[in-house]
Structure 1
Amino acid sequence: MNYIFSLRACNTMPLRLYPAVPADANRISEIHMAAFASNAMLLAQFPTPEVRVGLRESIRLKALADIDDPKVSVLVVREHPFDPDSPNTTGAEDGSNQCPGVVREREMEESAPRGIIAFAKWSHPVSKDVDYEEAAWAWPAGTNMRILNGWVKAAEEGQEEAVGDRPCYRLTFMGTDPAHERRGAASMMVNWGLEQCNKDGVPGYLESTLEAAPFYEKMGFAASVKISMRYLIEGQDQSEMYEEIAFVYRPGST
C-alpha cells in the first residue's frame, strides 16, 4: 500500500537518498504510522489505539529484519546541508525519471543521525525456484486477522493477475512524514526502483490508493488491476468497500 499526502513542508533543506541502517527502524515505524494513520484498511485491520501501538512495534521489528535482508532494499530520505555538487539532492516533486544516487556505505555512519523524512521498501525479484522466504510479520494482539488475511489474499491475486509469476521489483511500502510532503522524497525513492527495473530488465509492481494513482502514472507506471474487498466494520452491522489499484512498470516504458 502506498500513499501520497498533501501537506506542504516549509523547510527547503536539500534531500539525499540513503540505504536504511538498523538505527533508522524506529523512525521508519513512526513515519509509517503518521503517514497511514487515516487509511481505512489499516484502521479496519488494527481497530483500536492499543492495537495500533502494538502495530508500531511490529513495523519497527519488520524494518530491522528487512534492512538485514539482502533481497530487500529499505531506503530513507534525509535532510542534508546544501551541497550544490551533490548528484543526489532534490528540492521538487517534479516526477522526472532521473534516479538520484544512493549515498555509499562509507558515508552512512556519519550521516545516519540526520533527520529522516520518508522511507520506502523495495522487494527484489526472486525466481520461484530460489529457496527464499521473507521474514514474517509478528502482528500485535487484537489484530483483525480475518480482514488482514482477506486483504492479503486479494492483493496476492491482484499481483498474480498483473505480473503472473514473473520476478519483479515490488514497492511494498512507501511513506512520507506528512510535514514534509511535496519535497521530492517520493520521486527519489520510486526512481531508485525504476532504475533497477531498467538495469535488470524486469517489471516493477505496486499497489496504490486511488488518490495516489496520478502520481504513479506520472512516474511511468500503468494501471493494471483494481483490487477491492468488502468488509464489516467492527462493532457495526454495516460494511465498507476498500479499493486499491495494481500498477506495473515495464522496463523502457519511460
Structure 2
Amino acid sequence: MPDERGRRYPPWHADMPGEECDAFFLREERERERVMGKEKRYYLDTVATHPDYQRRGAGSMLLQWGCDFANQDKVSAYADATKDAARLYERFGFVDEPTRLG
C-alpha cells in the first residue's frame, strides 16, 4: 500500500516534467485503489524483458517470482500490463480490469 511503502520514486530531476510525472503516477495509484480497494496486495511494478530476450521465459520467471511472494504471504497481486503482454498475465491468473481514464 502506498502509505506503507512511502514515496515510490526519488524526487524528479530538474530536467524532468515533475508535475506531469507526479500526475501520471497518481492516476495509476488511484486506478489500483479503484480495482483493489484497500486490500493488501503486491504490485508487480515495471516487469519487463529486453526485446532480444522476449518469448524465452524470462517474463514468466519474473511473474512466477512475484506471484510466489504473494501466495506465500496470502495476498493478491496486481500489475498494470500492456495489451501485448495480456496473455502472459492471464496464464498466471490475472484478470483484465478495464481502465477508466479521466
TM bucket (normalised to shorter chain) is: 0.7 to 0.9
**2:13 corresponds to which of 140, 143, 151:** 140
Matched, 1:179 2:40: no
| Match status 1:152 vs 2:53 | no
Structure with the largest fraction of strand? 1
Q: What secondary structure, in the 3-state scheme, does the structure 1 residue paired with 2:61 have? A: helix
2:31 aligned partner, one-letter code:
G
Q: Which amino acid aligns with 1:206?
A: A
Does residue 203 of the first structure (1) align with residue 76 of the second (2)? yes
Counterpart of 1:228 in structure 2 is 101
Which residue is equivalent to 2:38? 165
Residues 5-62 of structure 1 deviation map (CA, whole Å, 9 limit, x = unaligned) = xxxxxxxxxxxxxxxxxxxxxxxxxxxxxxxxxxxxxxxxxxxxxxxxxxxxxxxxxx
What amino acid sits opposite 2:83 in the alignment?
A: L
Q: Distance in 1 between matches of 2:10 and 2:51?
A: 25
Deviation at 1:179, TM superposition (A): 1.3
Shift of 1:188: 0.5
Identity between Structure 1 and Structure 2 (%)? 27
Higher helix share: 2
Unaligned runs of 5+ in 2: none
Taking the aligned partners of 1:159 and 1:184, their CA distance within structure 2 comes to 27
Matching residue of 1:248: none
How high is the TM-score relative to the length of structure 1? 0.36
**Count of residues in correspondence between the two structures:** 102
Q: Matches of 1:160 and 1:210 in 2, distance apart?
A: 21
CA distance in structure 1 between the partners assigned to 2:91 and 2:48 by the alignment: 18
Displacement of 1:226 after TM fit?
A: 0.9
Distance 2:19 2:61 in 1: 35
Q: Does residue 86 of structure 2 align to residue 213 of structure 1?
A: yes
> How far, CA to CA, are the matches of 2:99 and 2:23 in structure 1?
15
Give 1:211 shift: 2.3
Note closer, same or farther for the CA distance 1:147–1:210 as it changes in structure 2 (3 Å cut). Answer: farther
Cα separation, 1, equivalents of 2:8 and 2:43: 15
Structural RMSD (CA): 2.3
Once residues 207 and 201 of structure 1 are traced to their aligned partners in structure 2, the CA distance between those partners, rounded to angstroms, is 20
Alignment of 1:30-109 (within 5 A): none
SS of the residue 1:204 aligns to: strand
Structure index of larger Rg: 1
TM-score w.r.t. the length of structure 2 is 0.81
